[in-house]
Amino acid sequence: MGEMHPDRDSYEMIWDKVIRKEIDNYQSSYVNCIELIPNVKEEIWKKYVSLNVYCKNNYMKSPEGKIDRHKVAACYMIAIAMLRPMRFVQKIDNKEVPLAINEMLAITVGLSLVRAFAIAAIKENDSINKEDADILVAKFEDGIKIPEGNLVNHGVYLENYANEIYFAASEGKISVLSLAHELYLLEVITRIS
Amino acid sequence: MTGLELGIGILAGVIALILVVSAVTIMVTKVNSKEINNMRNVYLGRLANSDSSIQDAMKYLKLTNGIKQQLHGEKK
């Protein structure tokens, strides 16, 4: 009846529906330019599990319990950011283009997960009537809303986010709690949009 | 008054001044310390675990906010 945590069956779905698919998208966008680290699927899972366990042991009241959706998504994001599963092996159009593809992949995985969790939480919430629930769910249909236009002071939001993750991971300062908090705020922006 | 008596007097005065200043400093520090000691320390507790099921959420999982959406504005 109870789920095993961390849940391997769920990871199989996350891998198939999100991670593998998005890696394929990158490889088809940058043909012959990207290779993957060996055993990428298992490496991401192992890293995720170690982050999940670390989070439970160090931050949570009960190490045997579950962590919330934002922390789950953050652990996946950090696993990908630390492993850097995609490597450029060729220049793009003979140019070295600065692209934080691993960090962008991490963001995509994190946001896809937060979206799925948020929809599940809305549908399971008995205190919301069906009509309101449908309106809320519709806000998440195309993904998490990203600040843009006048809300962005400089650059492109996702590129800034990817840079933040890159530098934080490189400096060994990336934090599950901080990333989870950022994901929570992005979910809130989507809910109130 | 001889020079010796003057010197002793000055020395006594300086010592008295030092003692008075020290006493006042100690009193003021102790009063402030008392206030600090009376303040409760705030300890951070650990975070509450979650009830939400990851398996339930997998029904709604799909790829969003990906490179195709960013490059082409493609909606899935």
Token pair listed for A85: 């599963």
Token pair listed for B5: 């008596």
Nearest CB among A21, A60, A142 relative to B49 is that of A60
Q: What is the pLDDT of residue A90?
A: 79
Decide if A109 is inside a domain.
Answer: yes
CA A173 from centre of chain: 17
| Domain spans in chain B, listed from the N-terminal domain onward | 1-39
Residue type, B14: V
B51 neighbourhood in chain A, CB within 8 Å: 66
Q: What is the pLDDT of residue A1?
A: 44
Decide if A56 is inside a domain.
Answer: yes
Give how far B51 is from chain A: nearest CA, Å: 7
**pTM (predicted TM-score):** 0.81
B72 neighbourhood in chain A, CB within 8 Å: none
User: Would you call A119 and B58 a contact, using CB atoms and an 8 Å cutoff?
Assistant: no
Decide if A2 is inside a domain.
Answer: no
Residue numbers in chain A where pLDDT is lower than 50:
1
Token pair listed for A191: 């809910």
CB A44 within 8 A of CB A16: no
Tell me: pLDDT of B75 over 50. Answer: no
- CB of B74 within 8 Å of any CB in chain A? no
Q: What is the pLDDT of residue A150?
A: 83
In 3D, which of A152, A128, A135 has the Cα closest to residue A191? A135
Give the tens place of pLDDT for each residue, B7-49: 999 999 999 999 999 999 988 877 666 555 666 666 677 888 8
Residue type, A72: V
B68 band by pLDDT with thresholds 50, 70 and 90: confident
B76 band by pLDDT with thresholds 50, 70 and 90: very low
Question: Which DSSP symbol is given to B50?
Answer: B
The total number of structural domains in chain A stands at: 1
B67 neighbourhood in chain A, CB within 8 Å: 22, 25-26, 29, 104, 108
| Shortest CA distance from B65: residue in chain A | A108
B74 band by pLDDT with thresholds 50, 70 and 90: very low
- CB of B43 within 8 Å of any CB in chain A? no
Report how many helices (DSSP H) and strands (DSSP E) chain B contains, helices first. 3, 0
In 3D, which of A96, A164, A86 has the Cα closest to residue B67? A86
Asked whether the ipTM of the predicted complex exceeds the cut of 0.90, the reply is no
The residue segments making up the domain with residue A25 are 8-192
User: Would you call B47 and A60 a contact, using CB atoms and an 8 Å cutoff?
Assistant: yes
| Shortest CA distance from A8: residue in chain B | B55
